[in-house]
Chain A
């Protein structure tokens, strides 16, 4: 009765939401790739007759909106995009539909994805829950015009006895940071705001020093020589070689310092490579390039991986139509079209596509970045770990805690979280 009454109210207002079986509703976040998908959706509707409704919300609030939908027996979203932060939580709670059967039936080839992508936003404990949508691995943005300058080259050679060029190792890069801090220029700009910006950026420092978050048994390996060095280098870069206030910069503020030509380098998300060539955002168009964060040796990389995956929630009102859309949007043809618009691929065959390479010559650098990247720990408590890490790193950067003490605290809390999650028996 209540149901009928409320439904009547909705109908009386003439405004009830349409819930036709032929409409796929997807909750997404407003990133450039979402825009590219939007432009291609009419092709899908033409091919299949299925309408697609993309709902775009703010990233910070997306989780709040998603959880009630996922808990419900039947929610409003046919499919959704999942940040790697939430993969552990969503899969452990059993909110996502396993895709393996559909993949096998339709012979959808997942081997084309960069393996690190499938580890991060594809498979969990051997079950495929997601198809990697786009990657936001972190790379090193650097000023190639400053590296090519003859005077800089001569001065660098005189000071360090080595040639100035694209850095091959982390140590070489740190020397360049020191060298370029002169004449009102900063060697580096950091995103030191807690918790997420600092935790994500510092992870690159950890990997670049040869460190990792944990070993194969989830034993934390942060309070090590590599970890301590990474914190010390990070704190020094902020205090001595970066702009005032970098300890509280998010990526917007940090990107703007770089875009205004006031810093030599910035470790950040790969999508800023396109932004730095946009004259409405940047005064250094054409002077900046991106590369994988250099590692301890020229063969190793130090980049942090990041990605979103497409998933079908168990509460999906029409999982079959949703799968039809996922198959289409992740097909080589459409993934390539997205990449040609400036999207951030996850498939190796798109990275290697000649047209994509001709339009974006830095595609191979982006691929290299992914291949040598490292993943952040993915488990139910990933967001909580970011919180702890951000807090302790901020204390260390502010000089209120020694790097070793800060890392010891992170290790303790990380071990507690991993134990709670059953990763450590």
Chain B
């Protein structure tokens, strides 16, 4: 009996928690396949399922443009911030550059409410004539991603990697070679995980994209929010659009699982 309870109770608890996470996604999928009338019915009805909302988001809304803008901005922001964050994290870990003051300073901007940061950025881009451009959003998203990624990566360059590097230096490697051939490969899972995090941060970012974007540079979160109108929420197309916008993140999941877990447990392995 005791053994039975031991086997069953954890499963019940896990099932409940899994449902708590999965139900909203299943609900979202259901709403995306039905019309608004059925979507709101209590008790829920299945009704006739169809792909009409998926057609609608491509025909009626600038969904393709939102999607491509988000993809472009997220990829560029990640591609630029990741090497910078790696170098900065290495400098913090190895040389303690700027001491704890600079480390905190890097994170300080993230401790303020984003609305405080977005107004000065707006001013800068206005002055530079870059307002509403994709470049403005890439720069803005780098300001968010860089501090986070740096902090995440510092721990990957601390600990036993130092000794491996020292061994390489004794064997005649230059500092740059030690960084490139030893430190970076060892920290690779962490760097990849940080890259994925940077991509997701940019992909989901709303406030900066709202204030700084223009008609041709609207991103997915801003575009999707416009389906919530003064005359009601276009719930069914919104659900369909959300499902499609989740796809890239889902596509990244296998990598994420493999490398993030490896990345996070790296310190314990060495």
In contact, A55 and B135 (Cβ under 8 angstroms): no
In contact, B122 and A6 (Cβ under 8 angstroms): no
How would residues 45 to 85 of chain A score, 1 for a CB under 8 Å from any chain B CB and 0 otherwise? 00000000111111111001100100010111000000100
The verdict on B119 contacting chain A, using a C-beta distance below 8 Å, is yes
Write the chain B residue with the least CB distance to A13. Answer: B135
Write the chain A residue with the least CB distance to B224. Answer: A58
The verdict on A94 contacting chain B, using a C-beta distance below 8 Å, is no
In contact, B225 and A57 (Cβ under 8 angstroms): yes
The verdict on B229 contacting chain A, using a C-beta distance below 8 Å, is yes
CA separation between A75 and B122, bound complex, in Å?
10
CA separation between A83 and B222, bound complex, in Å?
20
Write the chain B residue with the least CB distance to A315. Answer: B126
Of A30, A68, A74, which contacts B119 at CB under 8 A?
A: A68
CA separation between A19 and B126, bound complex, in Å?
12
For residue A29, which residues in chain B have a CB less than 8 angstroms away from its CB? 229-230
For residue B76, which residues in chain A have a CB less than 8 angstroms away from its CB? 13
Please report which residues of chain A, range 1-20, place their CB below 8 angstroms from some CB of chain B when the two chains form the complex. 2-3, 6-7, 9-10, 13, 15-19
Of B36, B129, B211, B218, which contacts A55 at CB under 8 A?
A: B218
Given contacts A7-B128, A65-B210, A252-B233, 10 further A-B contacts (CB under 8 A): A2-B127, A15-B217, A17-B133, A57-B226, A58-B229, A65-B211, A72-B122, A280-B35, A281-B36, A282-B37
Please report which residues of chain A, range 305-353, place their CB below 8 angstroms from some CB of chain B when the two chains form the complex. none
- Say how far A325's CB is from chain B's closest CB, in angstroms: 15
The verdict on A269 contacting chain B, using a C-beta distance below 8 Å, is yes
A-B contacts, CB under 8 A, total: 127
The verdict on A251 contacting chain B, using a C-beta distance below 8 Å, is yes
A/B interface sample: 27 pairs, CB < 8 A = A6-B125, A6-B130, A10-B129, A10-B136, A13-B135, A15-B133, A15-B134, A16-B129, A17-B131, A17-B214, A31-B229, A54-B215, A55-B218, A57-B210, A60-B228, A64-B210, A76-B132, A76-B214, A136-B230, A136-B231, A253-B40, A256-B37, A260-B40, A275-B231, A275-B232, A281-B36, A281-B37
A72/B126 contact (C-beta < 8 A), A13-B138, A260-B37 known: yes
- Say how far A42's CB is from chain B's closest CB, in angstroms: 16
Name A's B-contacting residues (CB within 8 A): 2-3, 6-7, 9-10, 13, 15-19, 25, 29-32, 53-61, 64-65, 68, 72, 74-76, 83, 136, 251-253, 255-256, 259-260, 269, 271-272, 275, 279-283
For residue B138, which residues in chain A have a CB less than 8 angstroms away from its CB? 13
A6/B132 contact (C-beta < 8 A), A55-B214, A251-B232 known: no
In contact, B229 and A30 (Cβ under 8 angstroms): yes
- Say how far B105's CB is from chain A's closest CB, in angstroms: 21
In contact, A17 and B210 (Cβ under 8 angstroms): no
